[in-house]
Structure 1
């Protein structure tokens, strides 16, 4: 299945589950730039489960809007397990949502290092205070890395809350 269609299908599937379970969701996105929230809100009826989402591209935005600790950002950086964990926790609190998806990564083409290569993306999914984190390294150009990250986030959220 083509990736854009997979994203659309996953977002609709997630929306149906959220509606059925009367759950709300928010996102805290960095490298995906709002792509996850776009996918969620592209589904008709999404206003039943989406109230607000956050695009926090800079460290300052992560701190100001989501409460990510400045020490976390300074010590381990924006692309790290601890940062996405704090992003997901802060987003859930700020949006008063049952579920929060957080993502931060290096989509490229520059910005990578030996420790954090281009394509590295960290994810956190917070479901009522229970946080699951994932690390992935995707390949391809900037656009394809971002699409893979969006699909991964949706797919893993579906698998965590599916009946």
Structure 2
């Protein structure tokens, strides 16, 4: 599934459910938000997002515990979960999405190129997926966007709609 199709599917479900979405992005640098806002009608559901490329901004803007960042670095399963929760809480949304990882061209803090974590935080909790992607920087970023949107679609299917 391509990222535009994944975005459209998720946005339409959110519109039908009258639920909202926010994003916190690192390696994708706003590509998740840009993909989402390309969908007509998205203003009914998209609250906003944070591009927190610098590690300290993950803490100060998105609310990731600094101790977690210091101990594990920014490319970590629990950091992805905290980013998604931070986006949800700080933007006042029902759902929060996040991306963090290494797009390349070089490894970062001992983490290999292509290691990515995507997360979705929602009313029933947080789910994180670890990805091991291949290809160049653009391909890794694009696949990360598609993966986080697919994770959102899966979470929406699994979660009961608000009443």
Instruction: Report the TM-score range of the alignment, normalised by the length of the smaller protein.
Output: over 0.9
- Cα drift, residue 112 of structure 1: 4.0
Matches for 1:94-105 after TM superposition, within 5 Å: 94-105=90-101
User: Does 2:153 correspond to 1:119?
Assistant: no
User: Does 2:4 correspond to 1:8?
Assistant: yes
Alpha-carbon displacement from aligned partner over 1:97-121 (angstroms, at most 9, x marks no partner) = 00001110000001346x5210000
User: Does 2:72 correspond to 1:80?
Assistant: no
Q: Which of these residues, 49, 56, 59, is aligned with residue 55 of structure 2?
A: 59
User: Does 2:143 correspond to 1:151?
Assistant: no
| SS of structure 2 residue aligned to 1:67 | coil
Unaligned runs of 5+ in 1: none
Matches for 1:43-58 after TM superposition, within 5 Å: 43-58=39-54
Aligned mates of 1:133, 1:46 — CA distance in 2? 24
- Cα drift, residue 15 of structure 1: 0.8
Aligned mates of 2:130, 2:136 — CA distance in 1? 18
Query: Which residue number in structure 2 is paired with residue 132 of structure 1?
Result: 127
Aligned residues: 158
TM norm structure 1: 0.92
Unaligned runs of 5+ in 2: 159-163
* Cα RMSD (Å): 1.4
Aligned mates of 1:37, 1:55 — CA distance in 2? 9
User: Does 2:137 correspond to 1:142?
Assistant: yes
